[in-house]
Amino acid sequence: MPNTQIPSLIYGTAWKKEETANLVEMAIMSGFRGIDTACQPKHYHEAGVGEALERLNKRGIMRESLFLQTKFTPLSGQDPLRIPYDPASPLEMQVAQSFEVSKQNLRTQYVDSLVLHSPLFPYTDLQKVWRAMEEIYHCGGTRRLGISNCYDLELLKRVYANAEVKPTVVQNRFYADSGYDIEFRAWCDGENITYQSFWSLTANPHILESQTILGLGRKYAKTQAQIFYRYLCHKGIVPLIGSTSKHHIDEDLQIFTFELEPDEIAAVSSLLEV
């Protein structure tokens, strides 16, 4: 089993562009200990994370003290003009090349988590990519493997059954269209797979504005975001937080100063029953 503990909150770096290094440095100096990125120039400036890691090292925060997660993004998710590997190469080579670029970008020899950004079809292609990711794991390049944007539980079960190195991370959009992955998350819990959520606030204004959340906010003197993030953590979900505001980042890190009661957790859970 991997030794690296996944933090309760992870700082997400998508769409940060040229501000990536400054924002990652700010988030880590504020108290975050997890960083999520991807080898996907279309949406991530991965090298900016590496720049931040170097700055943090000089400030006494070693790379080894941080949870660093990146992704292999298949061709379907790449900008055709900025593909970080040879698109004509076999899938296995695309994975290897992408990971070498990630190591250069991040200025590290290993990551704590390597995630497949989205499933490939047909399934034989997904298997080839997973085997290539397993090779990186066996060579010490990553401590764990995972998959993102996977909403088909049967597909995840198939990956899990066929994998030599089992996925220990799933990262999905947390929204009503997937039914909030309720059954999916229950299965992950049973297999010790950590469920990471993104778009947790953006996709759920109706929940944040609900009387339940507003009432809990008044009771605990916390913002709606703080209440919802605290709820997610109570449920064993690790939210990705991409705030660019120092004030909001500090608020996000303060969610562990209180606990919701079991009936309050149940009340929020009822809001997810779509």
pLDDT of residue 3: 43
Instruction: Give the pLDDT confidence of 173-229 residue by residue, as tens digits.
Output: 999 999 999 999 999 999 999 999 999 999 999 999 999 999 999 999 999 999 999
Query: If 0-12 CB within 10 Å is exposed, 13-18 middle and 19+ buried, where does residue 245 land?
Result: exposed
pLDDT of residue 274: 66
What's the structural domain count of the chain? 1
Mean pLDDT score, 158-178: 98
Give pairs for 55-60: CB < 8 Å, separation 24+: 55/21, 55/25, 56/25, 56/28, 56/29, 59/29
CB 242 within 8 Å of CB 12: yes
Specify if 81 maps to a domain.
Answer: yes
- Taking 3-state DSSP, the helix, strand and coil percentages for the chain, each rounded to the nearest 5, stand at 50, 15, 35
DSSP β-bridge partners for residue 114: 70, 145
CB 80 within 8 Å of CB 17: no
Q: Report the C-alpha gap between 235 and 163 in whole angstroms.
A: 26
Instruction: Give the pLDDT confidence of 67-118 residue by residue, as tens digits.
Output: 999 999 999 999 999 999 999 999 999 999 999 999 999 999 999 999 999 9
pLDDT of residue 2: 39
Specify if 253 maps to a domain.
Answer: no
**pTM above 0.95?**
yes
Q: Report the C-alpha gap between 148 and 171 in whole angstroms.
A: 4
Average per-residue pLDDT for the chain? 97
Query: If 0-12 CB within 10 Å is exposed, 13-18 middle and 19+ buried, where does residue 242 land?
Result: buried
Range of the domain at 181: 10-204+237-244
Q: Report the C-alpha gap between 65 and 62 in whole angstroms.
A: 6
Residue 121 in 3-state DSSP? coil
Q: What angle do CA 101, 7, 138 make, to 5 degrees?
A: 45
Residue 88 in 3-state DSSP? coil
pLDDT of residue 210: 98
Helix (H) / strand (E) containing 3: none
Specify if 224 maps to a domain.
Answer: no
Q: Report the C-alpha gap between 261 and 28 in whole angstroms.
A: 30
Q: Report the C-alpha gap between 114 and 248 in whole angstroms.
A: 28
Instruction: Give the pLDDT confidence of 241-270 residue by residue, as tens digits.
Output: 999 999 999 999 999 999 999 999 999 999
Specify if 185 maps to a domain.
Answer: yes
CB 196 within 8 Å of CB 239: yes
Specify if 152 maps to a domain.
Answer: yes
State the CATH number of the domain containing residue 74.
3.20.20.100
Angle between helical axes of 91-106 and 123-138 (0-180°, round to 10): 40
Specify if 197 maps to a domain.
Answer: yes
pLDDT of residue 1: 37
Residue with tokens 């493997």: 145
Q: Report the C-alpha gap between 32 and 17 in whole angstroms.
A: 19
